């Protein structure tokens, strides 16, 4: 198909399943679609902020749509206009806050409203709404929620307290730069929700399963907390690849080395991954200083411990050079995942 990168025959039609959510997944999917993979993006459903939160409050038992929308846009082929439409967010001011209380659109993502409208057209069926959205955007793959049941993400801390909601867990380090009690256990309420059948089917048929990139406790592990999903991954014959974070995150992964990230993935998956992708690139002093102000630092690659946990370790420079943010370069990342001389433009 025109616009695709050239690949060796061994990659043609490869069934690739990504598991995650957030900006890391968005970036990788935006690049994966350039290759003739058979892509399924399994998306976390623990989002509890922004437009998703407002829709959930207004329409009882509405599932969060934010991460679904981002993945759909990432895989879109129908031009920049449709992507801009789905990513547009209505401005919110003081008057808008009052309007929102009455059910207005201020603060909402237009894409979320479109998906919600398609869901209503399809009698409340979210999967059919996603299919219609994929048709509108001409996506280069399928997007499926990890579960179709409403859930709340909770973290039991080492000091005995518990915090709930993805947004609270995700932002507590930004709001408080002092020492915070580490996360002892992550869980969903209710705990034994069923996995989406389409997600389980995709995992069972996959050739490669990619966990990450994304925030460990709010984008990746919530998917593994769905028992059916973790079981399907464990039983899958696909290569299981974990993409380790570039930076630690205050309030979640303070002081974590690469092996600590992998340990947590193994803990909640109930099995080990086949390969871990870790960054060996460096960051400028200015960028390191910027992140240090937020009590974040580059993830250290402790090879000795890591080699005892995972049979295969891929070490590459994966970060953008000279960037103002610590981000994975999606092209380098895809090459590292599907390593081999056949993967080239």
Contact call for residues 279 and 246 (beta carbons, < 8 A): yes
Instruction: Characterize 270-287 residue by residue with b for buried, 16 or more Cβ atoms within 10 angstroms of its Cβ, and e for exposed.
Output: eebbebbbbbebebeeeb
Contact call for residues 109 and 137 (beta carbons, < 8 A): no
- The C-alpha atoms of residue 216 and residue 128 are separated, in whole angstroms, by 29
Provide the phi-psi class of 73: left if phi over 0, else alpha when psi is between -120 and 50, else beta: alpha
Pairing verdict, β 183-189 and 152-157: antiparallel
- The C-alpha atoms of residue 274 and residue 54 are separated, in whole angstroms, by 39
**What percent of the chain is modeled with pLDDT above 70?**
85
Backbone phi and psi for residue 315, each to the nearest 5 degrees, phi listed first: -110, 120
Q: Where would I find the H helices in the chain? A: 22-32, 50-58, 66-74, 79-87, 94-101, 110-121, 126-137, 166-175, 197-205, 221-224, 227-235, 258-269, 285-292, 303-309, 330-337
Please determine, for residue 14, whether its predicted confidence score (pLDDT) is greater than 50: yes
What pTM was computed for the model? 0.89
Digit-coded pLDDT (tens) for 48-73: 544 444 444 443 455 678 889 999 99
Half-sphere exposure (CA, 13 Å, Cβ side) for 254? 16
Please determine, for residue 247, whether its predicted confidence score (pLDDT) is greater than 60: yes
Digit-coded pLDDT (tens) for 280-314: 999 999 999 999 999 999 999 999 999 999 999 99
Tell me what pLDDT residue 59 has.
38
Please determine, for residue 176, whether its predicted confidence score (pLDDT) is greater than 50: yes
Tell me what pLDDT residue 345 has.
42
Digit-coded pLDDT (tens) for 275-288: 999 999 999 999 99
């Amino acid at each position: 198909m025109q616009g695709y990168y050239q690949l060796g025959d061994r990659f043609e039609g490869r069934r690739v399943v990504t598991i995650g959510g957030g900006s890391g997944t968005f970036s990788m999917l935006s690049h994966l679609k350039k290759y003739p993979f058979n892509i399924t993006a399994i998306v976390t459903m623990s989002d509890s902020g922004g437009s998703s939160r407002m829709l959930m409050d207004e329409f009882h038992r509405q599932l969060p749509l934010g991460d679904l929308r981002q993945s759909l846009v990432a895989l879109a082929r129908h031009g920049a206009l449709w992507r801009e439409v789905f990513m547009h967010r209505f401005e919110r001011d003081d008057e808008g806050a009052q309007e929102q209380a009455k059910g207005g659109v201020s603060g909402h993502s237009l894409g979320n409203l479109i998906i919600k409208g398609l869901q209503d057209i399809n009698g409340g069926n979210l999967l059919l709404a996603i299919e219609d959205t994929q048709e509108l955007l001409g996506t280069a793959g399928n997007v499926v929620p990890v579960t179709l049941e409403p859930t709340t993400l909770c973290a039991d801390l080492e000091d005995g307290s518990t915090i709930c909601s993805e947004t609270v867990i995700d932002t507590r380090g930004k709001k408080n730069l002092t020492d915070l009690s580490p996360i002892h256990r992550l869980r969903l309420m209710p705990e034994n929700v069923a996995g989406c059948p389409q997600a389980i089917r995709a995992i069972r048929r996959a050739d490669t399963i990619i966990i990450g990139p994304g925030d460990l406790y709010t984008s990746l592990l919530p998917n593994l907390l769905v028992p059916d999903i973790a079981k399907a991954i464990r039983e899958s014959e696909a290569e299981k690849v974990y993409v380790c974070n570039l930076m630690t995150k205050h309030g979640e992964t303070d002081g974590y080395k690469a092996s600590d990230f992998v340990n947590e993935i193994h803990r909640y998956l109930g099995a080990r991954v086949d390969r871990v992708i870790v960054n060996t690139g460096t960051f400028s002093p200015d960028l390191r200083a910027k992140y240090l102000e937020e009590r974040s630092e580059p993830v250290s690659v402790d090879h000795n411990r890591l080699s005892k946990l995972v049979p295969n370790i891929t070490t590459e420079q994966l970060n953008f050079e000279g960037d103002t943010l610590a981000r994975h370069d999606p092209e380098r990342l895809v090459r590292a995942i599907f390593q081999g001389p056949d993967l080239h433009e």
